Amino acid sequence: MSLPNLTRRQQEIYEYLVENLDSFPHPPTLDELCEALGLSSRGSLHKQLQALIQEGLIEPMNNQRRGVRLAQLPGENSVADDNALPLYGRIAAGQPIEAIASHETISVPPSLRTDNPCYVLEVKGDSMIEEGILDGDWVVIEKRDTARNGEIVVALVDGEEATLKRIEQQQGKVTLHPANASMQPMIYLPEQVQIQGVLVGQMRSYH
């Protein structure tokens, strides 16, 4: 597709985005695109992307919408991604941090999800490394408010902090177990812990 208002370099970048954007597990950052395109200058890429934004070919980037996304062109039919799940933000595999909601989605193969409502969180921390869950992984969570003992859950602690841990529920207490020998289990009263989902899948990027 020839776009007369673009330079040859801008055309090459746009064609790369059209052909490869879906291969990224999330909207790529400038640094990720620089690496993928073999570019050394982040500033130069930013300038080229600004030209594509002005042409209406990619969406504007700001603090709320990080990453590069293609714009829907006039007359282009919108095709829903049947594999898209909401990307709700970050989840602590360490000390609890807040899971931050967003309007982003991420494509998840059917084999990594269930038929029930699911969502995706990005893992931050190393408390689940002995389960093979590493910092930067994406975990697929089935929405549930109950879990069996031994399942890995998203637990909301005291109504404000979310963490990813293996759960043990006993009379009068809930224990959230890390999978890291250097860390101690966290023990709470049952009323302090709200289950928000159970781990059903996991994804990792090697970009």
Residue positions annotated with a catalytic role: 127, 165
Contact 99, 163 (CB under 8 A): no
CA distance 144 to 111: 19
CA distance 106 to 138: 10
Q: Residue 101 to residues 115, 122, 145, 201, 202: CA-CA distances in angstroms? A: 22, 11, 18, 19, 19
Residue with tokens 């690496």: 35
Q: Residue 8 to residues 3, 11, 119, 120, 150: CA-CA distances in angstroms? A: 9, 5, 39, 37, 56
